[in-house]
Homo-oligomer: A and B are copies of this chain.
Protein backbone atom coordinates (compact mmCIF):
# COMPACT_ATOMS: atom_id res chain seq x y z
CA UNK A 1 0.00 0.00 0.00
CA UNK A 2 3.02 2.37 0.08
CA UNK A 3 2.56 4.68 -2.87
CA UNK A 4 5.58 5.66 -4.95
CA UNK A 5 6.56 9.33 -5.08
CA UNK A 6 5.10 9.43 -8.57
CA UNK A 7 1.76 8.00 -7.56
CA UNK A 8 1.57 10.51 -4.73
CA UNK A 9 2.01 13.36 -7.16
CA UNK A 10 -0.64 11.84 -9.32
CA UNK A 11 -3.11 11.74 -6.43
CA UNK A 12 -2.79 15.42 -5.50
CA UNK A 13 -2.83 16.39 -9.17
CA UNK A 14 -5.99 14.38 -9.77
CA UNK A 15 -7.71 16.09 -6.87
CA UNK A 16 -6.76 19.48 -8.29
CA UNK A 17 -8.13 18.66 -11.73
CA UNK A 18 -11.53 17.75 -10.36
CA UNK A 19 -11.48 20.78 -8.12
CA UNK A 20 -11.02 23.04 -11.15
CA UNK A 21 -14.04 21.52 -12.87
CA UNK A 22 -16.32 21.83 -9.83
CA UNK A 23 -15.25 25.32 -8.87
CA UNK A 24 -17.31 27.53 -11.23
CA UNK A 25 -20.68 25.76 -10.77
CA UNK A 26 -23.43 27.57 -8.83
CA UNK A 27 -24.46 24.99 -6.26
CA UNK A 28 -27.28 25.33 -3.79
CA UNK A 29 -29.24 22.90 -1.61
CA UNK A 30 -31.28 22.01 -4.72
CA UNK A 31 -31.13 22.63 -8.44
CA UNK A 32 -29.19 21.92 -11.59
CA UNK A 33 -25.84 23.29 -10.37
CA UNK A 34 -25.94 20.72 -7.63
CA UNK A 35 -26.85 17.89 -10.00
CA UNK A 36 -24.07 18.83 -12.39
CA UNK A 37 -21.58 18.76 -9.48
CA UNK A 38 -22.73 15.24 -8.53
CA UNK A 39 -22.24 14.09 -12.12
CA UNK A 40 -18.63 15.22 -12.06
CA UNK A 41 -17.99 13.50 -8.72
CA UNK A 42 -19.55 10.29 -10.05
CA UNK A 43 -16.62 9.98 -12.45
CA UNK A 44 -14.48 9.18 -9.38
CA UNK A 45 -16.93 7.76 -6.86
CA UNK A 46 -19.99 5.94 -8.26
CA UNK A 47 -22.50 7.57 -5.93
CA UNK A 48 -26.09 6.51 -6.18
CA UNK A 49 -28.19 9.69 -6.47
CA UNK A 50 -31.50 10.17 -4.68
CA UNK A 51 -34.14 12.80 -5.43
CA UNK A 52 -36.46 13.90 -2.62
CA UNK A 53 -39.51 15.84 -3.79
CA UNK A 54 -40.20 19.41 -2.68
CA UNK A 55 -42.76 19.43 0.10
CA UNK A 56 -41.68 16.07 1.52
CA UNK A 57 -41.79 16.19 5.33
CA UNK A 58 -38.49 15.03 6.77
CA UNK A 59 -38.67 14.91 10.57
CA UNK A 60 -39.20 18.51 11.75
CA UNK A 61 -38.32 19.91 8.30
CA UNK A 62 -39.90 20.12 4.85
CA UNK A 63 -37.92 19.82 1.60
CA UNK A 64 -38.11 23.29 0.01
CA UNK A 65 -38.92 24.21 -3.58
CA UNK A 66 -36.12 23.72 -6.06
CA UNK A 67 -34.11 26.83 -6.92
CA UNK A 68 -32.63 27.44 -10.34
CA UNK A 69 -31.02 30.56 -11.65
CA UNK A 70 -29.89 31.65 -15.05
CA UNK A 71 -28.73 35.25 -14.59
CA UNK A 72 -28.53 38.11 -12.11
CA UNK A 73 -26.92 41.55 -12.10
CA UNK A 74 -27.31 45.21 -11.17
CA UNK A 75 -27.03 48.13 -13.64
CA UNK A 76 -25.80 51.28 -11.91
CA UNK A 77 -27.19 54.73 -12.75
CA UNK A 78 -24.00 55.17 -14.73
CA UNK A 79 -24.85 52.10 -16.82
CA UNK A 80 -22.21 49.81 -15.34
CA UNK A 81 -23.13 46.14 -14.86
CA UNK A 82 -22.06 45.00 -11.42
CA UNK A 83 -22.71 42.00 -9.11
CA UNK A 84 -22.79 39.89 -12.23
CA UNK A 85 -23.87 36.32 -11.39
CA UNK A 86 -22.12 35.04 -14.49
CA UNK A 87 -18.78 36.31 -13.17
CA UNK A 88 -19.26 34.94 -9.64
CA UNK A 89 -22.31 33.16 -8.38
CA UNK A 90 -21.73 34.48 -4.86
CA UNK A 91 -23.04 37.88 -6.03
CA UNK A 92 -26.61 36.70 -5.68
CA UNK A 93 -28.04 35.74 -2.32
CA UNK A 94 -28.51 31.98 -2.64
CA UNK A 95 -32.22 31.05 -3.00
CA UNK A 96 -33.19 34.63 -4.07
CA UNK A 97 -36.67 34.91 -5.54
CA UNK A 98 -36.86 36.46 -9.04
CA UNK A 99 -36.92 40.22 -9.40
CA UNK A 100 -36.77 42.66 -12.30
CA UNK A 101 -37.14 46.30 -11.23
CA UNK A 102 -35.82 49.82 -11.13
CA UNK A 103 -35.19 51.52 -7.83
CA UNK A 104 -33.26 54.13 -5.91
CA UNK A 105 -30.02 53.34 -4.03
CA UNK A 106 -31.84 53.52 -0.73
CA UNK A 107 -34.34 50.91 -1.79
CA UNK A 108 -31.65 48.70 -3.36
CA UNK A 109 -29.45 49.06 -0.32
CA UNK A 110 -31.91 47.08 1.80
CA UNK A 111 -30.98 44.12 -0.44
CA UNK A 112 -27.19 44.61 -0.47
CA UNK A 113 -24.75 42.58 1.68
CA UNK A 114 -21.05 43.28 2.18
CA UNK A 115 -18.46 42.62 4.84
CA UNK A 116 -16.80 45.72 6.24
CA UNK A 117 -14.03 43.80 8.04
CA UNK A 118 -12.95 42.11 4.77
CA UNK A 119 -13.44 45.05 2.38
CA UNK A 120 -12.40 43.19 -0.79
CA UNK A 121 -14.41 40.03 -0.16
CA UNK A 122 -17.84 39.16 -1.52
CA UNK A 123 -19.74 37.46 1.31
CA UNK A 124 -21.71 34.23 0.88
CA UNK A 125 -25.34 34.65 1.98
CA UNK A 126 -28.33 32.29 1.81
CA UNK A 127 -32.07 32.64 2.41
CA UNK A 128 -33.30 29.08 2.03
CA UNK A 129 -36.36 29.26 4.23
CA UNK A 130 -37.70 32.77 3.74
CA UNK A 131 -38.47 34.30 0.39
CA UNK A 132 -36.47 37.44 -0.32
CA UNK A 133 -33.83 38.54 -2.78
CA UNK A 134 -30.45 40.19 -2.47
CA UNK A 135 -26.99 40.81 -3.84
CA UNK A 136 -23.55 40.43 -2.28
CA UNK A 137 -20.69 42.78 -3.19
CA UNK A 138 -17.43 43.86 -1.63
CA UNK A 139 -17.45 46.68 0.88
CA UNK A 140 -15.04 48.65 -1.31
CA UNK A 141 -17.44 48.40 -4.21
CA UNK A 142 -20.41 49.30 -2.05
CA UNK A 143 -18.67 52.48 -0.84
CA UNK A 144 -18.23 53.74 -4.41
CA UNK A 145 -21.81 53.16 -5.58
CA UNK A 146 -23.63 56.40 -6.52
CA UNK A 147 -26.23 57.32 -3.91
CA UNK A 148 -28.33 59.15 -6.54
CA UNK A 149 -30.00 57.95 -9.73
CA UNK A 150 -31.88 54.83 -10.72
CA UNK A 151 -30.59 51.26 -10.49
CA UNK A 152 -31.86 48.35 -12.51
CA UNK A 153 -31.80 44.89 -10.92
CA UNK A 154 -32.46 41.51 -12.43
CA UNK A 155 -32.56 38.09 -10.86
CA UNK A 156 -33.71 35.50 -13.36
CA UNK A 157 -34.38 32.63 -10.93
CA UNK A 158 -37.18 30.18 -10.34
CA UNK A 159 -38.43 28.68 -7.10
CA UNK A 160 -40.75 25.85 -7.94
CA UNK A 161 -41.62 22.31 -6.90
CA UNK A 162 -38.83 19.96 -7.90
CA UNK A 163 -36.52 17.86 -5.77
CA UNK A 164 -33.44 17.79 -3.60
CA UNK A 165 -30.53 15.63 -4.75
CA UNK A 166 -28.11 13.68 -2.58
CA UNK A 167 -25.80 10.75 -3.14
CA UNK A 168 -24.54 7.77 -1.24
CA UNK A 169 -22.51 4.65 -1.81
CA UNK A 170 -21.76 1.47 0.09
CA UNK A 171 -18.36 -0.21 -0.26
CA UNK A 172 -19.01 -3.68 1.17
CA UNK A 173 -16.73 -5.32 3.71
CA UNK A 174 -16.68 -8.72 5.44
CA UNK A 175 -19.23 -7.58 8.00
CA UNK A 176 -22.22 -5.32 7.51
CA UNK A 177 -21.13 -3.05 10.34
CA UNK A 178 -20.36 0.29 8.82
CA UNK A 179 -17.88 3.14 8.95
CA UNK A 180 -19.58 6.30 7.71
CA UNK A 181 -17.87 9.11 5.81
CA UNK A 182 -20.09 12.09 5.13
CA UNK A 183 -19.59 15.46 3.51
CA UNK A 184 -21.79 18.17 2.03
CA UNK A 185 -22.26 19.79 -1.34
CA UNK A 186 -24.35 22.95 -1.61
CA UNK A 187 -22.01 25.95 -1.53
CA UNK A 188 -21.32 27.85 -4.74
CA UNK A 189 -17.71 28.62 -5.62
CA UNK A 190 -16.01 28.01 -2.30
CA UNK A 191 -12.88 25.99 -1.87
CA UNK A 192 -11.87 24.86 1.59
CA UNK A 193 -15.40 25.04 2.86
CA UNK A 194 -16.69 23.21 0.86
CA UNK A 195 -15.14 21.54 -2.13
CA UNK A 196 -12.33 19.98 -0.07
CA UNK A 197 -14.84 17.73 1.72
CA UNK A 198 -16.55 15.89 -1.16
CA UNK A 199 -13.23 15.72 -3.03
CA UNK A 200 -11.52 14.06 -0.03
CA UNK A 201 -14.39 11.55 0.19
CA UNK A 202 -14.27 10.76 -3.50
CA UNK A 203 -10.56 10.04 -3.50
CA UNK A 204 -10.75 8.23 -0.15
CA UNK A 205 -13.21 5.88 -1.82
CA UNK A 206 -10.63 5.12 -4.51
CA UNK A 207 -8.00 4.29 -1.90
CA UNK A 208 -10.29 2.10 0.22
CA UNK A 209 -11.49 0.21 -2.80
CA UNK A 210 -7.90 -1.01 -3.27
CA UNK A 211 -7.61 -2.19 0.36
CA UNK A 212 -7.39 -5.91 1.12
CA UNK A 213 -9.12 -7.33 4.20
CA UNK A 214 -11.91 -4.82 4.41
CA UNK A 215 -13.54 -6.07 7.57
CA UNK A 216 -15.97 -3.19 7.79
CA UNK A 217 -18.36 -1.91 5.19
CA UNK A 218 -17.72 1.75 4.36
CA UNK A 219 -20.57 4.11 3.56
CA UNK A 220 -20.12 7.43 1.78
CA UNK A 221 -22.73 10.17 1.92
CA UNK A 222 -22.54 13.46 0.03
CA UNK A 223 -25.58 15.68 0.46
CA UNK A 224 -26.57 19.32 0.76
CA UNK A 225 -25.66 20.49 4.27
CA UNK A 226 -28.33 20.17 7.01
CA UNK A 227 -31.45 19.46 4.90
CA UNK A 228 -29.62 16.87 2.78
CA UNK A 229 -28.23 15.08 5.81
CA UNK A 230 -31.72 15.16 7.33
CA UNK A 231 -33.19 13.66 4.12
CA UNK A 232 -30.63 10.89 4.23
CA UNK A 233 -31.31 10.21 7.92
CA UNK A 234 -35.04 10.22 7.22
CA UNK A 235 -34.47 7.49 4.65
CA UNK A 236 -31.65 5.52 6.30
CA UNK A 237 -31.39 6.69 9.89
CA UNK A 238 -32.69 3.55 11.54
CA UNK A 239 -30.37 1.42 9.45
CA UNK A 240 -27.44 3.68 10.35
CA UNK A 241 -28.33 3.54 14.02
CA UNK A 242 -28.01 -0.23 13.89
CA UNK A 243 -24.94 -0.51 11.72
CA UNK A 244 -22.62 2.49 12.10
CA UNK A 245 -19.81 1.72 14.52
CA UNK A 246 -17.82 4.85 13.69
CA UNK A 247 -17.98 7.75 11.31
CA UNK A 248 -16.79 11.17 10.31
CA UNK A 249 -18.10 14.32 8.77
CA UNK A 250 -15.23 15.44 6.52
CA UNK A 251 -14.96 19.17 5.91
CA UNK A 252 -12.48 22.05 5.66
CA UNK A 253 -9.65 19.68 4.85
CA UNK A 254 -8.11 21.58 1.95
CA UNK A 255 -5.93 24.13 3.67
CA UNK A 256 -2.47 23.66 5.15
CA UNK A 257 -3.47 23.81 8.83
CA UNK A 258 -3.08 21.21 11.55
CA UNK A 259 -5.51 18.31 11.62
CA UNK A 260 -8.47 18.76 13.95
CA UNK A 261 -10.77 16.07 15.31
CA UNK A 262 -14.09 17.03 16.78
CA UNK A 263 -15.29 14.18 18.96
CA UNK A 264 -18.56 12.30 18.84
CA UNK A 265 -21.45 13.02 21.14
CA UNK A 266 -20.77 9.99 23.37
CA UNK A 267 -17.40 10.68 24.98
CA UNK A 268 -16.21 7.06 25.19
CA UNK A 269 -17.02 6.06 21.59
CA UNK A 270 -14.86 3.77 19.51
CA UNK A 271 -14.54 6.66 17.05
CA UNK A 272 -12.96 8.86 19.70
CA UNK A 273 -10.65 6.13 20.91
CA UNK A 274 -9.42 4.95 17.51
CA UNK A 275 -9.04 8.45 16.15
CA UNK A 276 -7.01 9.64 19.12
CA UNK A 277 -4.81 6.57 18.85
CA UNK A 278 -4.13 6.86 15.14
CA UNK A 279 -3.64 10.63 15.17
CA UNK A 280 -1.30 10.34 18.17
CA UNK A 281 0.79 7.72 16.42
CA UNK A 282 0.67 8.91 12.84
CA UNK A 283 0.00 12.65 12.83
CA UNK A 284 1.24 13.61 16.31
CA UNK A 285 0.45 17.35 16.04
CA UNK A 286 -3.30 17.78 15.95
CA UNK A 287 -6.14 19.25 17.93
CA UNK A 288 -9.15 17.67 19.61
CA UNK A 289 -12.43 19.50 20.14
CA UNK A 290 -15.35 18.21 22.19
CA UNK A 291 -18.66 17.47 20.53
CA UNK A 292 -20.92 20.46 20.18
CA UNK A 293 -24.25 20.49 18.32
CA UNK A 294 -23.10 23.65 16.57
CA UNK A 295 -21.24 23.07 13.30
CA UNK A 296 -21.99 20.97 10.25
CA UNK A 297 -23.83 17.69 9.72
CA UNK A 298 -22.60 16.22 13.00
CA UNK A 299 -25.57 18.20 14.36
CA UNK A 300 -27.87 15.77 12.56
CA UNK A 301 -25.90 12.55 13.14
CA UNK A 302 -25.53 13.61 16.76
CA UNK A 303 -29.18 14.51 17.31
CA UNK A 304 -30.35 12.63 20.39
CA UNK A 305 -32.59 10.15 18.55
CA UNK A 306 -29.70 8.95 16.39
CA UNK A 307 -26.72 9.75 18.59
CA UNK A 308 -24.40 8.19 16.03
CA UNK A 309 -20.71 7.85 16.84
CA UNK A 310 -19.83 10.39 14.16
CA UNK A 311 -17.10 12.96 14.70
CA UNK A 312 -15.61 15.57 12.38
CA UNK A 313 -12.25 15.41 10.63
CA UNK A 314 -10.86 18.65 9.31
CA UNK A 315 -7.83 20.88 9.23
CA UNK A 316 -8.57 24.49 10.28
CA UNK A 317 -12.18 24.56 11.56
CA UNK A 318 -14.58 26.82 9.67
CA UNK A 319 -14.92 29.21 12.56
CA UNK A 320 -11.22 29.92 12.70
CA UNK A 321 -10.19 31.31 9.33
CA UNK A 322 -11.31 34.77 8.28
CA UNK A 323 -11.96 33.89 4.61
CA UNK A 324 -14.75 31.48 5.65
CA UNK A 325 -18.02 32.08 3.73
CA UNK A 326 -16.55 34.71 1.42
CA UNK A 327 -15.09 34.85 -2.06
CA UNK A 328 -11.63 34.68 -0.45
CA UNK A 329 -12.18 31.00 0.36
CA UNK A 330 -10.79 30.09 -3.04
CA UNK A 331 -8.04 28.05 -4.65
CA UNK A 332 -5.34 30.26 -3.09
CA UNK A 333 -6.23 28.67 0.22
CA UNK A 334 -5.86 25.10 -1.05
CA UNK A 335 -2.85 22.81 -0.54
CA UNK A 336 -3.46 19.66 -2.57
CA UNK A 337 -0.39 17.89 -1.20
CA UNK A 338 -1.80 18.25 2.30
CA UNK A 339 -5.18 17.06 1.08
CA UNK A 340 -3.51 13.91 -0.13
CA UNK A 341 -1.97 13.43 3.34
CA UNK A 342 -5.42 13.94 4.81
CA UNK A 343 -6.87 11.22 2.60
CA UNK A 344 -4.05 8.84 3.56
CA UNK A 345 -4.72 9.48 7.24
CA UNK A 346 -8.33 8.51 6.65
CA UNK A 347 -7.10 5.26 5.09
CA UNK A 348 -5.03 4.58 8.22
CA UNK A 349 -8.10 5.13 10.36
CA UNK A 350 -10.02 2.52 8.38
CA UNK A 351 -7.09 0.09 8.67
CA UNK A 352 -7.04 0.66 12.42
CA UNK A 353 -10.76 -0.12 12.72
CA UNK A 354 -10.28 -3.23 10.62
CA UNK A 355 -7.48 -4.58 12.80
CA UNK A 356 -8.98 -3.56 16.11
CA UNK A 357 -11.52 -5.84 17.73
CA UNK A 358 -12.05 -8.13 20.66
CA UNK A 359 -9.80 -11.19 20.52
CA UNK A 360 -9.75 -14.09 22.90
CA UNK A 361 -6.81 -16.14 24.12
CA UNK A 362 -7.46 -19.83 23.39
CA UNK A 363 -5.15 -20.87 26.26
CA UNK A 364 -6.57 -19.31 29.34
CA UNK A 365 -5.17 -21.39 32.20
CA UNK A 366 -1.46 -20.75 32.65
CA UNK A 367 0.74 -19.10 30.09
CA UNK A 368 0.72 -20.67 26.60
CA UNK A 369 3.79 -22.81 25.92
CA UNK A 370 5.26 -20.67 23.15
CA UNK A 371 8.40 -22.80 22.85
CA UNK A 372 6.68 -25.72 21.17
CA UNK A 373 5.33 -23.31 18.53
CA UNK A 374 8.71 -21.69 17.84
CA UNK A 375 7.37 -18.42 19.20
CA UNK A 376 9.88 -18.28 22.10
CA UNK A 377 13.64 -18.51 22.70
CA UNK A 378 14.29 -22.09 23.80
CA UNK A 379 17.72 -21.13 25.15
CA UNK A 380 17.36 -18.71 28.03
CA UNK A 381 20.18 -16.30 27.15
CA UNK A 382 18.50 -13.31 25.63
CA UNK A 383 14.94 -14.11 26.41
CA UNK A 384 14.30 -11.22 28.75
CA UNK A 385 15.57 -8.69 26.28
CA UNK A 386 13.20 -9.49 23.43
CA UNK A 387 10.57 -6.79 23.09
CA UNK A 388 8.74 -8.97 20.57
CA UNK A 389 8.30 -11.79 23.05
CA UNK A 390 7.19 -9.37 25.77
CA UNK A 391 4.62 -7.95 23.39
CA UNK A 392 3.44 -11.46 22.48
CA UNK A 393 2.96 -12.43 26.13
CA UNK A 394 1.10 -9.21 26.81
CA UNK A 395 -1.24 -9.65 23.87
CA UNK A 396 -1.92 -13.26 24.83
CA UNK A 397 -2.64 -12.33 28.42
CA UNK A 398 -4.77 -9.26 27.96
CA UNK A 399 -6.67 -10.28 24.83
CA UNK A 400 -9.05 -12.38 26.89
CA UNK A 401 -12.36 -11.43 25.33
CA UNK A 402 -13.07 -8.59 27.75
CA UNK A 403 -11.31 -5.71 25.99
CA UNK A 404 -10.30 -4.73 22.51
CA UNK A 405 -6.83 -4.67 21.00
CA UNK A 406 -6.79 -0.90 21.18
CA UNK A 407 -7.04 -1.00 24.96
CA UNK A 408 -3.99 -3.27 25.14
CA UNK A 409 -2.13 -0.96 22.77
CA UNK A 410 -2.98 2.04 24.94
CA UNK A 411 -1.78 0.19 28.03
CA UNK A 412 1.62 -0.49 26.54
CA UNK A 413 2.06 2.42 24.15
CA UNK A 414 1.97 0.20 21.07
CA UNK A 415 0.89 1.54 17.71
CA UNK A 416 -2.08 -0.58 16.66
CA UNK A 417 -1.10 -0.25 13.01
CA UNK A 418 2.24 -2.00 13.75
CA UNK A 419 0.55 -5.15 15.09
CA UNK A 420 -1.06 -6.53 11.96
CA UNK A 421 1.59 -9.20 11.38
CA UNK A 422 1.73 -10.33 15.00
CA UNK A 423 -2.04 -10.65 15.31
CA UNK A 424 -2.19 -12.59 12.07
CA UNK A 425 0.48 -14.99 13.34
CA UNK A 426 -1.27 -15.56 16.66
CA UNK A 427 -4.56 -16.21 14.86
CA UNK A 428 -2.85 -18.72 12.57
CA UNK A 429 -1.31 -20.56 15.53
CA UNK A 430 -4.75 -20.85 17.07
CA UNK A 431 -3.57 -18.89 20.11
CA UNK A 432 -6.13 -16.17 19.48
CA UNK A 433 -9.58 -16.14 18.01
CA UNK A 434 -11.53 -13.11 16.96
CA UNK A 435 -14.66 -12.49 19.03
CA UNK A 436 -15.89 -9.19 17.62
CA UNK A 437 -16.72 -7.97 15.10
Contact = CB atoms under 8 A, between A and B. Distances in A.
A400 B331 CA distance: 42
B60 A368 contact: yes
Interface in A232-270: 233-234, 237, 265
B304 A364 contact: yes
Interface string A365-407: 1111101100000111100100000100110111011000000
A294 interface: yes
- This protein's copies in its complex: 3
A4 interface: no
Contacts of A61: 366, 369
Nearest to A292: B394
A58 interface: yes
B303 A226 contact: no
Interface stretch (A100-108, A125-133, A204-212): A125-133
Nearest to A59: B366
Given A300-B367, A303-B365, A303-B366, A129 B372 contact: yes
A365 B306 contact: yes
Most buried by B among A371, A380, A400: A380
Contact of A60 (B130, B363, B380): B363
Nearest to A127: B379
A113 interface: yes
A32 to B, nearest CB: 22
B366 A304 contact: no
A233 B365 CA distance: 8
A361 interface: yes
Interface residues of A, number: 56
A191 to B, nearest CB: 18
Contacts of A372: 129
A233 B398 CA distance: 19
B299 A393 contact: yes
Given A294-B390, A294-B393, A380-B125, A365 B237 contact: yes
A305 interface: yes
Contacts of A302: 397
A319 interface: yes
A384 B130 CA distance: 18
Given A304-B401, A306-B365, 14 more contacts: A58-B366, A59-B363, A60-B368, A61-B369, A125-B381, A126-B380, A127-B380, A129-B372, A226-B367, A293-B393, A293-B398, A294-B390, A300-B366, A302-B397
30 contacts: A59-B363, A60-B369, A61-B366, A61-B369, A113-B381, A125-B379, A125-B381, A129-B369, A129-B371, A129-B372, A130-B371, A130-B378, A229-B366, A230-B367, A233-B366, A237-B365, A292-B390, A292-B394, A293-B394, A293-B398, A294-B384, A294-B390, A300-B366, A302-B397, A303-B364, A303-B397, A304-B397, A304-B401, A305-B365, A306-B365
